[in-house]
């Protein structure tokens, strides 16, 4: 029963999301795209986090995807849509190769290494002047779908849906048990027969594919990229903040966090032209202080308390 009703909600929500272009103008659609991009990154980051591995390399894979897609179109004459698939696969292959070395690291050392890798990607793109355009970046001959707002929105939405779908699959499948077991107690997970490394590698590759794909969608939607745009540290820090503010170890948490921060940032900007980022920073501080489990965690707690209260009344 419970399962069914939540399926209905999901279906309704998806239809609403798909139908947005019918009643929203170009500006909200543009903002929505940016929020959805961060949302997908936040969810994909959270997927790896469920194993306890904290990646600081989101921007690295995002940027790698951006460049793979842009250069495939520019240097290889690839079809833009195909280049998104190519970029996702490229990010996956890179993650697979790197994963063998870096997934053996734990905690902060893993985080630092992913961060360092991101910087290395950036510097390489920065220095390969003839191939990657150097610091000035690359400009594509045209934007995908001729820049039509609804089409760009749906493309981004498709990327987001795919991410959500994979994340839910992670939640419902054997992956969930395995990753949670690794996070909670690696030694006992190992002894109970979970092949830790394989699961980590799968999770790392899949999340990297998703991040690379979002990077490719971004670059095709804006028609250009530079090392500083593609590997912007904000693509690492904001998804992290969003996931935490929404509530980690879930799909819905990062989504809620992305909506909160994404809307807050755009809204504050219009209300307070000079100095809106001060308020933005304070919002992050306050949410972390007063909702340590995130928005979603707070909701979960409130519901638990209410059902407890309801039970005692009966």
Partner 1 sequence: MKKALLVIMIIALAVSAFAMGAKEATGTAPAGAAPIKIGATWPLADITGKQGSMAAQQAVDEINAAGGVLGRKLELIVVDDELKADKGAAAIEKLVTVDNVDLLIGGMASGVALGQIPVMKKYAKVVISTGAASYKVEEGLGAEADWYFHLHPWDYNQGQSYADGWEAIQKKFGNVKIQKIFLAYEEGAFGKASFDASKTLFGGRYTFDGAPFKSAAFGGGDYASVLEAAKKYGPDLFLWAGYDADALPMLEQAKAMKFNPGIYLGAPPGWPADFGKSPLAENVMLYGMWAPSINGVSPASKKFYDGFMAKYNTEPATYFAPLSYSAVYIAADAIKRAGSTDTAALIKALAATNYASPLGQTITFTPSNIIKHQGVKNQKILQWQKGRQEVIWPFESATAAPVYPFPAWK
Partner 2 sequence: MANKRNAAIFAALIVAAVAGILVWRPTVIIYGLQAAGLYASIAIPMGLILGIVHIVNLAHGEFMMVAAYLTYMVCTALGIDPFVAMIPVALVTALVGFIVYKLTIRQALKAPELNQLILTFGLAISLTQLANLLFTSQTRKMSFGYVSASLSIGELSFGVYNFVFVAIAVLMVIGLRLFLTRTTAGKAALAVGQNPKGAAIVGIDVDKTYGLVFALATGMVGMMGAIFITRSSIFPAVGSPFTMKSFCLIAMAGIGNIPGILGASVLLGISENFLKAFRETRGWADIVFFVLIITVILGRSIKGKKA
* Positions that interact with partner 1 (CB under 8 A): 2, 5-6, 9-10, 13, 25-31, 33-34, 37, 126, 134-137, 139, 143, 147-149, 218, 222-224, 226, 228-229, 232, 234, 252, 255-256, 259-260, 263, 266-267, 269-271, 273-274, 276-277, 295-296, 299-300, 303
- Does residue 123 touch partner 2 according to CB under 8 A? yes
**DSSP calls for 297-308:** HHHHHHHHHHHH
Q: Which helix (H) or strand (E) is 139 found in, with range?
A: strand 138-139
Q: Which of 140, 144, 244, 255 binds partner 2 (CB under 8 A)?
A: 244
Q: Which of 220, 284, 295, 296 binds partner 2 (CB under 8 A)?
A: 284
Q: How far is CA 196 from the centre of its chain?
A: 23
Give just the sign of the alpha carbon dihedral 276, 282, 287, 288.
positive
Burial of 234 (0-12, 13-18, 19+ CB in 10 A): exposed
Nearer to partner 1, 197 or 280 (CB): 280
Nearer to partner 2, 29 or 260 (CB): 260
Q: Which of 237, 263, 269, 304 binds partner 2 (CB under 8 A)?
A: 237
Q: Which of 17, 24, 124, 158 binds partner 2 (CB under 8 A)?
A: 124
Considering the complex, what minimum distance in angstroms separates the CB of residue 6 from partner 1? 6
Task: Give the one entry of partner 2, partner 1, none that residue 267 binds, where binding means its C-beta sits below a cut-off of 5 to 8 angstroms depending on kind.
Answer: partner 1
Candidates 63-71, 174-182, 288-296, 301-309: pick the segment binding partner 2 (CB under 8 A).
Answer: 288-296
Nearer to partner 1, 7 or 100 (CB): 7
> What's the per-residue H, E or C state across 32-57?
HHHHHHHHHHHHHHHHHHCCCCCCCC
- Does residue 108 touch partner 2 according to CB under 8 A? yes
Tokens at 67, concatenated: 């460049």
User: How many helices and strands, by DSSP H and E, does the chain display?
Assistant: 15, 2
Tokens at 189, concatenated: 């997970």
Task: Give the one entry of partner 1, partner 2, none that residue 172 binds, where binding means its C-beta sits below a cut-off of 5 to 8 angstroms depending on kind.
Answer: none
Nearer to partner 1, 5 or 187 (CB): 5
Considering just the CA atoms, what is the radius of gyration of the chain in Å? 20
Considering the complex, what minimum distance in angstroms separates the CB of residue 78 from partner 1? 19
Q: Is 138 helix (H, G, I), strand (E, B) or coil?
A: strand
Q: Write the Ramachandran bin of 120: left for phi over 0, alpha for psi from -120 to 50, otherwise beta.
A: alpha
Task: Give the one entry of partner 1, partner 2, none that residue 173 binds, where binding means its C-beta sits below a cut-off of 5 to 8 angstroms depending on kind.
Answer: none
Q: Give ∠ CA 171-175-180 in degrees, rounded to 5.
A: 80
- Does residue 64 touch partner 2 according to CB under 8 A? no
Q: Which of 7, 27, 109, 267 binds partner 2 (CB under 8 A)?
A: 109
Report the candidate in 1, 28, 14, 302 with the shortest Cα–Cα distance to residue 168.
14
Task: Give the one entry of partner 1, partner 2, none that residue 120 binds, where binding means its C-beta sits below a cut-off of 5 to 8 angstroms depending on kind.
Answer: partner 2
Q: Is 225 helix (H, G, I), strand (E, B) or coil?
A: strand
Report the candidate in 239, 188, 205 with the shortest Cα–Cα distance to residue 92.
205
For binding to partner 2 (CB under 8 A), which residues are involved?
54, 101-102, 104-105, 108-109, 112-113, 115-117, 119-120, 123-124, 126-127, 233, 237, 240-241, 244-245, 248, 274-275, 277-278, 280-285, 288-289, 292
């Amino acid at each position: 029963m419970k399962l069914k009703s939540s399926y209905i909600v999901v279906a309704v929500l998806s239809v609403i999301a798909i139908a947005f272009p019918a009643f929203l103008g170009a500006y909200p659609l543009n903002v929505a795209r940016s929020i959805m991009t961060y949302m997908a990154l936040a969810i994909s980051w959270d997927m790896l986090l469920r194993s306890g591995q904290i990646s600081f390399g989101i921007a690295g894979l995002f940027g790698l995807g951006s460049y793979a897609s842009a250069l495939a179109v520019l240097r290889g004459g690839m079809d833009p849509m195909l280049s998104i698939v190519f970029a996702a696969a490229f990010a996956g292959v890179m993650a697979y190769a790197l994963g063998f070395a870096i997934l053996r690291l734990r905690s902060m050392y893993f985080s630092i290494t992913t961060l360092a890798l991101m910087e290395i990607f950036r510097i390489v793109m920065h220095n390969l002047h003839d191939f990657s355009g150097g610091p000035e970046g690359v400009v594509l001959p045209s934007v995908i779908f001729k820049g039509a707002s609804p089409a760009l929105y749906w493309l981004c939405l498709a990327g987001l849906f795919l991410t959500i779908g994979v994340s839910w699959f992670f939640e419902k499948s054997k992956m969930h048990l395995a990753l949670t077991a690794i996070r909670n107690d690696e030694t006992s997970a190992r002894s109970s027969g979970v092949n830790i490394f394989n699961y980590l590698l799968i999770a790392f590759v899949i999340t990297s594919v998703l991040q690379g794909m979002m990077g490719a969608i971004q670059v095709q939607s804006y028609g250009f990229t530079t090392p500083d745009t593609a590997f912007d540290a904000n693509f690492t820090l904001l998804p992290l903040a969003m996931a935490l503010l929404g509530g980690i170890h879930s799909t819905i948490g990062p989504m809620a966090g992305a909506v909160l921060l994404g809307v807050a940032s755009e809204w504050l900007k219009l209300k307070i032209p000079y100095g809106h980022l001060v308020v933005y920073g304070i919002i992050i501080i306050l949410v972390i202080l007063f909702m340590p489990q995130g928005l979603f965690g707070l909701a979960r707690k409130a519901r638990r308390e209410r059902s407890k209260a309801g039970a005692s009344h009966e």
